[in-house]
Amino acid sequence: MTDPAAGHKLLHVVGTRPNFVKVASIMAAVERWNIASAALGQGSSALLQQILVHTGQHYDERMSRVFFRELGLPEPDHYLEVGSGSHAMQTARVMLALEPVLLAEQPDLVVVVGDVNSTLAAALVAAKLCIPVAHVEAGLRSGDRTMPEELNRLLTDQLADLSFTTSKDAGANLAAEGIAPDRVFFVGNTMIDTLKAHLPEAMESSILTQLDLTPSGYAVATLHRPSNVDSQDNLELLARALSLVSERLPVVFPVHARTRDSLRRLALFESLDHRTGLTLTEPLGYLDFLSLIARARLVITDSGGIQEETTVLGVPCLTLRTSTERPVTIWEGTNHLVNPDDADGIAAAVDAVLAAPMPAARMPELWDGQAGNRIVEAVVEWLRG
pLDDT confidence band for 41 (50 / 70 / 90): confident
Burial class (CB in 10 A: 0-12, 13-18, 19+), 160: buried
pLDDT in the model for residue 57: 77
pLDDT score of 344 more than 60: yes
Share of the chain above pLDDT 90, in %: 87
89 strand-pairing partners = none
Is 87 part of the annotated catalytic residue set?
A: no
Residue-level length of the chain? 385
Q: For residue range 79-131, list pLDDT tens digits in order.
A: 999 988 899 999 999 999 999 999 999 999 999 999 999 999 999 999 999 99
Contact 144, 322 (CB under 8 A): yes
pLDDT confidence band for 380 (50 / 70 / 90): very high
Share of the chain above pLDDT 70, in %: 96
Contacts of 95 (CB under 8 A, 6+ apart): 121, 124, 125
Q: 3-class SS at 299? A: strand
Q: For residue range 196-234, list pLDDT tens digits in order.
A: 999 999 999 999 999 999 999 999 999 998 889 988 999
- Closest among 91, 94, 104 to 131, alpha carbons compared: 104
- Whole-number Å distance between alpha carbons of 23 and 19: 6
Q: What is the pTM of this model?
A: 0.95
Q: For residue range 8-33, list pLDDT tens digits in order.
A: 999 999 999 999 999 999 999 999 99
Burial class (CB in 10 A: 0-12, 13-18, 19+), 332: middle
Q: 3-class SS at 7? A: coil
Pairing of strands 298-301, 317-319: parallel
Contact 189, 181 (CB under 8 A): no
pLDDT confidence band for 293 (50 / 70 / 90): very high
Phi, psi of 136 (to 5 degrees): -95, 125
pLDDT score of 1 more than 80: no
Q: For residue range 142-197, list pLDDT tens digits in order.
A: 999 999 999 999 999 999 999 999 999 999 999 999 999 999 999 999 999 999 99
pLDDT confidence band for 47 (50 / 70 / 90): confident
Catalytic choice (78, 135, 224, 336): 224
pLDDT confidence band for 64 (50 / 70 / 90): confident
Q: 3-class SS at 11? A: strand
| Superfamily (CATH) of domain 199-355 | Glycogen Phosphorylase B; (3.40.50.2000)
135 strand-pairing partners = 112, 163
**Which sequence spans correspond to the domains of the chain?**
9-188+370-384, 199-355
pLDDT in the model for residue 3: 43
Q: For residue range 257-286, list pLDDT tens digits in order.
A: 889 999 999 999 998 999 999 999 999 999
What angle, 0 to 180 degrees and rounded to 10, lies between the N-to-C axes of helices 117-128 and 87-105?
40
pLDDT confidence band for 58 (50 / 70 / 90): low
Q: 9-188+370-384 and 199-355 share one CATH topology?
A: yes
Domain 9-188+370-384 - what CATH class?
alpha beta
pLDDT score of 372 more than 70: yes
Mean pLDDT over the full length of the chain:
94
Which pairs count as long-range contacts for 321-328, CB under 8 Å and 24+ apart, including other chains? 321/142, 321/225, 322/144, 323/142, 323/143, 323/144, 324/142, 325/115, 325/140, 325/141, 325/142, 325/149, 325/150, 325/153, 326/140, 326/166, 326/167, 327/169, 328/166, 328/167, 328/169, 328/364
